[in-house]
Structure 1
């Protein structure tokens, strides 16, 4: 994986199965007729770590398009020895505060996206489930994860947290009612002032 100011590039080996046509892949319509690691795939589906319905690339195309980002690029060779994905950075992204923590060697990158001559902030992309969550929290107040599962017609609490709740907390749109006890049985989620502002634009 390589991250630059222009793009995020992911290279993996080997390439896509020959049953997958690159044109279909670029349109988000590719479905493999063969599986390299069927047993691993079945195991991951049992753990609910993968869906097995070929939804990843269509979701990638949809989210980047809704964010106003350039279309992802997919590359391979005739022998399908590798698979390269380029995710171009938003054309109006403005990289700021690129600092290194000398004590740990970690790099802290803060990216602020701007749009047009007015430099008005571009809102960060959010999960497709987030508008529904925000509206519910706005109407009903603090809500537990079990009720959110029922609302979104989902079954797995961990995936709900990882894919929808945690990223939204990180962006400041919702917050825990028990911030000092993340795993508390009484833990609920509530809307923040920033979340209310986002809700007005959705």
Structure 2
């Protein structure tokens, strides 16, 4: 697209001319008032974009085939798996390893005694402080009677943000 010969001060005009001759959209050059950065955007020719979309398998110069959709799916899966693993590691390090199990059990309001029985934990203050309180403080579990924490009928349930977290850690 561009001639390899370069003379001082001819860069922008050369780019504009080559893109115009090619039928490509005009390039966009950006900078800030202090000239702390320079960004050049060279939009792809519309025909090349539609060809790539219509022809999902593209032959590369080295003879290998590249499927952009498959690459995108692979990248997304890899990123999701990495995020899931990182979320689990963070939860295990800073909260506890049973977050997912606890959130899964709290789909509907449940008493602490029933929750701990389900998880095979004793209903003690120590277990409440270790397992339940951090999830309440993080906003992943809500109390049925938040104004009276010691209500004998107190029950607990997963929140919307707890559901989002649960979806993230249950991806694998």
- TM-score when scaled to structure 2? 0.44
**Structure with the largest fraction of helix:** 2
Greater Rg by CA? 2
**Structure with the largest fraction of strand:** 1
